[in-house]
Amino acid sequence: MKILLVTTRSDELQEFISGLNLKNRKPVLAESGTRALELVGSIKPDLVVLDGNLPDYNAMTLIREIVTLDAMINTAVITRMTGKEFHEKSEGLGVLQALPENPGSEDARKLILNMETLLS
């Protein structure tokens, strides 16, 4: 499973990143939405995890761009939105799940399990 993590906070998210590294799934990192779109085209990730605090894209706008490139790519968003607010803003985009603003290794484990269930 190829994972692309789009964030400018890789230092702060080390616990989450370590959790994604289970079973040799080292995520590819991008620090901007523009770079993420380039990587989506070249590495064809199964999952793109977007930080809601990107310098050049709103997460929902970036998801729309990703889905335009490849509708089969799954996405998850690191966000501070409430569940209801997130649902309203992401409705129709097929986002796999919302993650807390500072996700940890347990959040990564649950995300991987959701992906594995989806792919099986």
* CATH at 113: 3.40.50.2300
**pLDDT tens column, 46-103:** 999 999 989 999 999 999 999 999 999 999 999 998 888 888 888 888 898 999 999 9
Q: Containing domain of residue 37, as a range?
A: 3-119
Q: Quick check: 22 pLDDT over 70?
A: no
The whole-number pLDDT of residue 1 equals 87
CA of 59: how far to CAs of 26, 56, 86, 113, in Å? 22, 10, 11, 23
The tally of domains found in the chain comes to: 1
Mean pLDDT calculated for residue range 92-119: 91
